Amino acid sequence: MHSFTEENYLKTIYYLATRMEGEVSTNALAEMTATKAASVTDMLRKLSEKQLIHYKKYQGVRLTEEGERLALQIIRRHRLWEVFLVEKLGFGWDEVHEIAEELEHIRSDELVTRLDAYLGNPQFDPHGDPIPTSAGQMPETGYRKLSEVKMGELVRLMGVLEHSTEFLQHLNHFQLTLGCSVAVTEINTFDKSVLLRITDDRMVFVSHEVAKNLLVD
Amino acid sequence: MHSFTEENYLKTIYYLATRMEGEVSTNALAEMTATKAASVTDMLRKLSEKQLIHYKKYQGVRLTEEGERLALQIIRRHRLWEVFLVEKLGFGWDEVHEIAEELEHIRSDELVTRLDAYLGNPQFDPHGDPIPTSAGQMPETGYRKLSEVKMGELVRLMGVLEHSTEFLQHLNHFQLTLGCSVAVTEINTFDKSVLLRITDDRMVFVSHEVAKNLLVD
DNA sequence: ATATTTTTTTAGACTTATCTAAATTTTTAG
DNA sequence: CTAAAAATTTAGATAAGTCTAAAAAAATAT
Ligand SMILES: [Mn+2]
Ligand SMILES: [Mn+2]
Ligand SMILES: [Mn+2]
Ligand SMILES: [Mn+2]
């Protein structure tokens, strides 16, 4: 069996691998896991011995098939629990990440199977992230960033890239919720900020920084 | 904050304290936690420093008020999660203990509050054990053991003392479920085994060993 | 009351995950 | 192509929780 710590490293390697080309670096992992590079090196040696990663000294790291399978399993659990917390217990989408960080490590395949069924086999978590299938596939979403949408286009808000409480509460404040339709009515060339017309004709003004973290369909 | 291990020791001390008069012994704890006496002594010193137990060398151990508060909080979480697993996810009462052993350590008061409300503020878990209140009180149940019931009495099955999968499956096999009414129609003097007439007039024969582990009203 | 047995604690060691400081390798710049 | 900078690994420590073996205290039996 694998420790919580090992599971968190696998998840982090998966996350970084999707966001950078090539291998994942020791320093990037140290920053993400809030540890020091030396600690990361120790763990990489261990994960490598367990054949969960491909690792050559100084050359960065990549998940093996088994490592990726495990990472996706943990991400699946995390996202299913987030759905539970929001849909069944009524938590806000800005409140569930930390709790799911703990729940994702509960070891019981039967539990995940039943939870999935109980939630109605959801395809997306409360942040619009796709839930890996029980077979271990990460579904592809063709979403673009709102910051890449052309003037005049009409799109729907489908997910967020940034998951911090502060960002999500910022969206709450502007009543920008997943599923709402968004028309790009103005793009300022100076700072790339955008003016949106959303579902009930309300106008919302968002910075480029925000637009870069919104995914649309 | 307290580690999983510390929480498990507190819970075990609480459990043993309710089942033996006086202080809890090092050896009893070692047996229950499946560790060695030497390891227990180390942990007792640590819990004592944290003021969670009263401990004098060679004199056994007793929970402080704070220690008992924590123990009851963990038991509350355990039993609420068991209700969730049985009532919402459809697990059998013989399948939930191990999973609840992990879920009970998830740290979020808000989670417990919402879970409790979602479950309809249940008073008992799937094994008939009372759920400690949010204020930290363990409700009293006036249950007797079935083995103490007199011939001819009519009672209701309210709980079990033994929680092992094997025992619970044994009860499943005889369709002895919580809430069913039980008339003691015969008590054999030789081995104290009992013949019961249960809800739908079915006759069930149980050993003294089983009767000692059934709680009735 | 003393000797024997049982229980408990101490001493010293191991594992996991972490750290700091130093050494080494790779990358980048001149 | 070398020299400086950056990234990474190694060396040596620490803390939590566990273990075995040995010592000490308490309980039990003669
Ligand atoms: Mn999350
Ligand atoms: Mn999420
Ligand atoms: Mn249980
Ligand atoms: Mn129970």
Give the alpha-carbon dihedral of B93, B86, B5, B33, to 10 degrees: 0
Parallel/antiparallel/unpaired status of strands B181-187 and B154-160:
antiparallel
Task: Give A-chain residues touching B105 at CB under 8 angstroms.
Answer: 102
Q: Is residue B114 part of a domain?
A: no
Q: Is residue A108 part of a domain?
A: no
Chain B CA closest to residue A108: B99
pLDDT in tens, B16-35: 999 988 899 999 999 999 99
User: What CATH number has the domain bearing residue B180?
Assistant: 2.30.30.90
**What residues form DSSP beta bridges with B196?**
B184, B204
- What local confidence, expressed as pLDDT, does residue B191 receive? 93
- State the ligand closest to the CA atom of B86: 4
Query: From the candidates A7, A89, A97, A105, which should be mutated to test the interface with B, based on the most B CB atoms within 10 A?
Result: A89
CA of B99 to the centre of ligand 3 (A): 9
DSSP β-bridge partners for residue B197? B183, B203
pLDDT value, residue B21: 86
The whole-angstrom separation of Cα B32 and Cα B178 is 27
> Taking CB atoms and an 8 Å limit, are A106 and B108 in contact across chains?
no
Mean pLDDT of B82-107: 97
Residue A110 lies in a domain: no
Q: Indicate whether A101 belongs to any domain.
A: no
**Per-residue pLDDT for A21 more than 90?**
no
Average of per-residue pLDDT values in chain B: 96
Q: Average pLDDT in the A54-59 region?
A: 96
Query: Does the distance separating the beta carbons of A99 and B102 come in below 8 Å?
Result: no
For chain A, the average pLDDT equals 96
Q: Which residue has the tokens 């819990």?
A: B47
Report the C-alpha dihedral over residues A139, A141, A145, A151, rounded to 10 degrees.
180
Burial classification of residue A200, based on how many CB atoms lie within 10 Å of its CB (0-12 exposed, 13-18 middle, 19 or more buried): exposed
Distance A41 CA to D10 C1' (A): 10
Q: Is residue B127 part of a domain?
A: no
Nearest nucleotide to A35 (CA to C1') is C18
C1' (C2) to CA (B32) span, angstroms:
35
Measured distance CA(B216)–CA(A110) in Å, rounded: 32
Strand, helix or coil at A204? strand
CATH of the domain at B58: 1.10.10.10
Range of the domain at A201: 144-216
Question: How confident is the model over B175-190, as a mean pLDDT?
Answer: 95
Predicted confidence at residue A39, as pLDDT, reads: 97
- How many Cβ atoms sit within 10 Å of the Cβ of residue B211? 20
pLDDT of A98 > 90? The answer is: yes
Q: Which bases of chain C come closer than 7 Å to a protein CB?
A: 7-12, 16-22, 25-26
Residue A1 pLDDT > 80: no
The model's confidence at residue A208, banded by pLDDT at 50, 70 and 90, is very high
What is the model's pLDDT at position B1?
72
Residue with structure tokens 């011939």? B151
Query: How much is the pLDDT for B200?
Result: 86
- The answer to whether the beta carbons of residues A212 and A145 sit under 8 Å apart is yes
Q: Is position A71 within any domain?
A: no
A-B CB pairs within 8 A amount to 39
Say whether the CB atom of B42 is under 7 angstroms from strand D: yes
**From the list A89, A98, A114, which residue is nearest B115 (CB)?**
A89
Strand D contacted by B3 CB (< 7 A): yes
Proximity of residue A42 CB to strand D below 7 A: yes
Asked if B105 CB < 7 A from strand D, the reply is no
| Mean of pLDDT values over B89-94 | 98
- The sign of the CA dihedral A96, A99, A102, A103 is negative
Number of domains in chain A: 2
In the reported structure, the alpha carbon of residue B53 is separated from the centroid of ligand 2 by a whole-number distance in angstroms of 40
pLDDT of residue B9: 98
Beta strands in chain A (DSSP E): 53-55, 61-63, 144-145, 154-160, 181-187, 194-198, 203-206, 214-216
User: Is residue B208 in some structural domain?
Assistant: yes
pLDDT at A191 over 80: yes
pTM: 0.94
Inform me whether the pLDDT recorded for B63 exceeds 80: yes
- What DSSP string runs through A1-61? ---HHHHHHHHHHHHHHTTSSSPBPHHHHHHHTTS-HHHHHHHHHHHHHTTSEEE-TTS-E
Confirm whether any atom of chain D, the nucleic acid strand, is less than 7 Å from CB of B207: no
pLDDT at residue B211 is higher than 80 = yes
Q: Write out chain A residues lying below 8 Å of B111, CB-based.
A: 85, 89, 99
Confidence of residue A153 (pLDDT cuts 50, 70, 90): very high
- A120 is a domain residue: no
pLDDT band for B198, please (50, 70, 90 cuts): very high
